[in-house]
Amino acid sequence: MCGIVGFTGQRAASGILLAGLRKLEYRGYDSAGIALDAGNGGSLSVLRRPGQIAFLEDAMDLPDSNMPQSATCGIGHTRWATHGPPTEQNAHPHTSQNGLFAIVHNGIIENYAQIRSILSAKGYVFRSDTDSEVIAHLIEDAYKGDFEEAVSMMLEQVQGTYGILALSSLHPGTLIAVRKGSPITVGICRNETLIASDVSAIIGHTDQVIFLDDDDILVATPEDFHITAWKTGPVSRPTTTVDWEPGAIEKGGHPHFMLKEIYEQPEAIENTLRGRLIEADGTSKLAGMQMDARELANIDRFCIAACGTSYYAGLVGKLYLEAFADLPVDVQQAAEFRDRNPIIQRNTCMLAISQSGETADTLAALREAARKGATTLGICNVVGSTIAREAGRGVYLHAGPEIGVASTKAFSCQVTVLAMLAILLGRGRRLGREAGQTMVKQLADLPDICRRVIDASDTIRRVAARYTEMHSCFYLGRGYMFPVALEGALKLKEISYIHAEGYHAAELKHGPIALLDKSVPVVALAPDTPGVEKTLANMQECRARSAPVLAVVTAGRRHGADCADDWIEIPPCPAFLTPIPATIAMQLLAYHIADLRGCPIDKPRNLAKSVTVE
C-alpha cells in the first residue's frame, strides 16, 4: 500500500529518494517523509509532511529544514494510512527513542498493541499512533553492536506483514531490508544500491533487480549486499532484467496517467497478443503456463480469485471458459474465497488475477488454493511480483506499468489473456479448428477496434459534460455486458466520487428501480451482444420512470430515438470481445466526468494502487 525507497552510494541521497517517492506516490499519498544519515554517528535527520510528496520537497528546500543535503544514505516513505490519521507524527520514517535507528514500513504489525505495552513498561515513549513505530524501538532494544542481529531479533517479536527498510547512524552507509508479504526489490548499480517497494522507483537507475522472498534479510552497502534467509542462512536470489523503458512511467504529455493508460490500450493489447496467436491451428500459445496437452486436458474446473477490476475481468473469463472450453468456473472475490473454505477438487485449476501481483487478498486466496492442492496459475502484469512468483506459472500481461490508481489497460489485457486461455483450452476440447481460427483472427483485429473507441474520446467528453452534476446513477448490462456494467460503475465512483451501482439489467426491477427518477441516470450497455433486446426493454422501463438513459450501442444501431436520451457508439465487434471496447468507452466516460468535475484523477481520495493489506 505504501511506497518505500532507500539509497546508499556516493551521491547525495535526498534527491534520489524524493524522485523515487514521486514514482511511488501512486501507492499511497497521504503523507511522506525521509530520513538521512549525516555520517557523524549522531541522531538521524528526519523530515515528514502530511499530504503530497510536493509538500515534503518544499520543506526540504527551506533553509531551516536542517536536513544534511549531502548525505549519501537514507530511506523514504509515502504512506497510505492504516493505523492513525495522516498526520506528521504518523508519517514515516519512525525513529527509535535514541534517534540512532530509523525505519520505514509497508504492511501491518498485527501484535503492535501488545509490543507497545511491553516497550512502554521498559520506558520507551511512543510518538505516533502507528503500528510501525514499535519496529524502530524493538531494533534499539535488541541492539548490542550488530545491526543485522538487532533486526533479526526484532523479527522474532513482530507478527503480521511487512516490507521494512532500516537505517542506523551507528552503521554509516548500511541499509537493512526485510520482507514478509510486502514486496522489496533491490536495484543493482555500480557503487550504489537502491531498494524499493517496487521497480518504478528503480528503473532509470538500473534494469537489473532482485526480488526478495519472504523472510529474506538484505544487508546493503554501496559496494556490496548479501541476503540471508531468516533463521536459515545465506541465500542468493536470481537477478531479473526489467524491460520497462524509464519513460514508461512518465505521463508522456497526457494530463493524467489514467488517460495515458486508456490511450495505450491498443498497443498494450498488441503486446499481450504478441507471439501468442497461432492462426493456422486456430489456437494460442501461452508458454508461461508450462502445461502440456495432457495437463491442459486434465483440468476439469477453474476457480478464479481476484479483487476489484481484476475480479470483473475474471467474470468475463468465466463466460469465455464456459462457452469455449466447456469448463465450469467459480469466480470469487479473493477475500471471500479464503474465508469460505473453498472446495478444491483434484483437477481444479486456480487462477489468481492481479495487475500488481501484490494484492494481499488475492495472494492469500492463491496460497489457500495451493495448500489444498490446486494447480495454480497467475495472470499478472508486474513481472516478478509475489503472486506471479508464488503461482509458479501463468501468463504475464506485458501491458507495461500501470500507474493510475484506476485500473484501465490491465483490464483489457486480462480479458485478452482470458480469451486466449479459453481458446487454448477449448481447442483441446470441443472448439473446432475453423471456429478457433475465426476467433484468433478476431483477437488480432481487437487493437484496431480499441483505437476507434479512443478516437471517439472527444465525442464521449461532450456526452460526459451532460452528466457531471448527477449524484447517483446505475450501470446496467447482461451477459457479456454485466461485468462491464460493474466495471463502468467502479471506474466512475472511484475517480469522480459520484455514487454508481453496476447491476444486471434484469435485476433492476427486483428492487433498485424504486430509486429511479429524473435525477438518477442509467447507463445502459446495449451493444450487439446476446440478450441486447431484453436490455432495450429494460431501458424503456427506466425511461418510463423518468430516468435519463445514456445508451452504449454498436455504431449505427440506435434502436429508435425513444430508447435513450444520449448515445455512445462503439465500433462493430465480435460479441465475445465487446467487453473490451465497451469498457474502454466506460473508462473514457468516467475519466471525462471526473476531469470536468475537477477531481484528482490519478490520486483519488482514500485509495491506493496496490492493496497489500487484507
Residues recognised as catalytic: 2, 609
Q: Please identify which residue in 378, 611, 612, 613 interacts with ligand M6R, judged by CB under 6 A.
A: 611
Region binding ligand M6R by CB under 6 A among candidate stretches 195-203, 230-238, 353-361, 500-508 = 353-361
Give Cα 3 distance to the centre of its chain. 13
Q: What are the two backbone dihedrals, phi and then psi, of residue 29, each rounded to the nearest 5 degrees?
A: -150, 35
Gap between the Cα atoms of 611 and 614, Å rounded: 8
Q: DSSP character for 181?
A: B
- Of 109, 196, 199, 307, the residue at the interface with ligand M6R (CB under 6 A) is 307
The number of beta carbons lying within 10 Å of the beta carbon of residue 456 is: 19
For 143, the grid coordinates are: 541492539
Contact string 188-217 vs ligand M6R (x = CB under 6 A):
------------------------------
CA 577, CA 419: separation in Å to the nearest integer? 8
Cis peptide before 172 (omega within 30 of 0): no
Q: Does 164 bind ligand M6R (CB under 6 A)?
A: no
The CB-of-314 to ligand M6R minimum distance in angstroms stands at: 10
Under rule CB under 6 A, residue 406 binds ligand M6R:
yes
What stretch of H or E contains 350?
Answer: strand 348-354
> How far from the centroid of its chain's Cα atoms is residue 557's Cα?
36
595 makes contact with ligand M6R (CB under 6 A):
no
Site for ligand M6R in 452-511 (CB under 6 A): 490, 494
Question: CA 270 to CA 450: how far, in whole Å?
Answer: 11
> Would you count residue 362 as binding ligand M6R (CB under 6 A)?
yes
Of 97, 121, 163, nearest to 358 by C-alpha is: 163
Least Å distance, CB 362 to ligand M6R, is: 5
Q: Kindly indicate which of the ranges 351-359, 439-447, 453-461, 556-564 contains the residues binding ligand M6R, using the contact rule CB under 6 A.
A: 351-359
Contact between 356 and ligand M6R by CB under 6 A: the answer reads yes
- Only one of the segments 96-104, 192-200, 402-410, 522-530 lies at the binding site for ligand M6R (rule: CB under 6 A); that segment is 402-410
> Would you say 265 and 412 are in contact if contact means Cβ atoms under 8 Å apart?
yes
Which residue from 136, 227, 131, 107 is spatially nearest to 177, judged by alpha carbons?
Answer: 227
To the nearest whole angstrom, how small is the minimum distance from the Cβ of residue 405 to ligand M6R?
A: 5
Minimal distance, residue 317 CB to ligand M6R, in Å: 13
- Applying CB under 6 A, the span of 50-58, 163-171, 268-276, 348-356 interacting with ligand M6R comes to 348-356
Within 13 Å of residue 579, how many CA atoms lie on the same side as its CB? 32
Contacts of 507 (CB under 8 A, 6+ apart): none
Q: Does 355 bind ligand M6R (CB under 6 A)?
A: yes
Q: Which position among 309, 332, 496, 587 is part of the footprint of ligand M6R (CB under 6 A)? A: 309
CB of 336 to ligand M6R, least distance (A): 14
SS3 track for 470-502: CCEEEEEECCCHHHHHHHHHHHHHHHHCCEEEE
Q: What are the residue ranges of helices labelled H in 545-604?
A: 579-596
Residue 22 CB neighbour total at 10 angstroms: 21
Among 1, 35, 403, 405, binds ligand M6R (CB under 6 A): 405
Q: Which residue number, 67 or 307, has a Cβ lying nearer to ligand M6R?
A: 307
Residue 185 or 356 with smaller CB distance to ligand M6R: 356
Rule CB under 6 A: say whether 141 interacts with ligand M6R.
no
Nearer Cβ to ligand M6R (90/356):
356
Beta strand pairing status for 301-306 and 348-354? Answer: parallel
Least distance CB 476 / ligand M6R (angstroms) = 20
Q: Is 583 in the site for ligand M6R (CB under 6 A)?
A: no
The full 3-state SS of 377-411, as one line of letters, equals EEEECCCCCHHHHHHCCEEECCCCCCCCCCCCHHH
Reported as half-sphere exposure (CB side, CA atoms, 13 A), residue 555 has a value of: 10
Among 52, 72, 185, 310, indicate the residue that binds ligand M6R (CB under 6 A). Answer: 310
Can you tell me the distance from the alpha carbon of 111 to that of 97, in angstroms, rounded to the nearest whole number?
20
- Report if residue 350 touches ligand M6R, rule: CB under 6 A: no
Q: Is 332 in the site for ligand M6R (CB under 6 A)?
A: no
For ligand M6R, how many residues bind (rule: CB under 6 A)? 16
Residues forming contacts to ligand M6R in the complex (CB under 6 A) are: 307-310, 354-356, 359, 362, 405-407, 490, 494, 610-611
